[in-house]
Amino acid sequence: IWCQTVAPFLIYSIIEFAIFVALIVQVREEGWTSRMRESGSIEKKEE
């Protein structure tokens, strides 16, 4: 019974955490690329 109660909550928490981390990483990457573009040290890769 304990496992049935905790397992879904644990999975939900992990998914929420993963989404949260993914958003932070995405924002950081966007910030880095915009900074790099401003300094002009990155080549534009458009395919």
How many angstroms separate the CA atoms of 9 and 43, rounded?
Answer: 44
Query: By the 8 A CB rule, do 17 and 23 touch?
Result: no
> Which sign, positive or negative, has the C-alpha torsion 6, 11, 14, 15?
negative
- In the chain the first and final C-alpha atoms are separated, in Å, by 53
- Here the tokens at position 10 are 């644990």
pLDDT at 30: 81
Give residue-wise pLDDT tens across range 4-47.
888 899 999 999 999 999 999 988 888 777 777 776 655 555 55
**Distance in angstroms (rounded) separating the CA atoms of residues 40 and 32:** 12
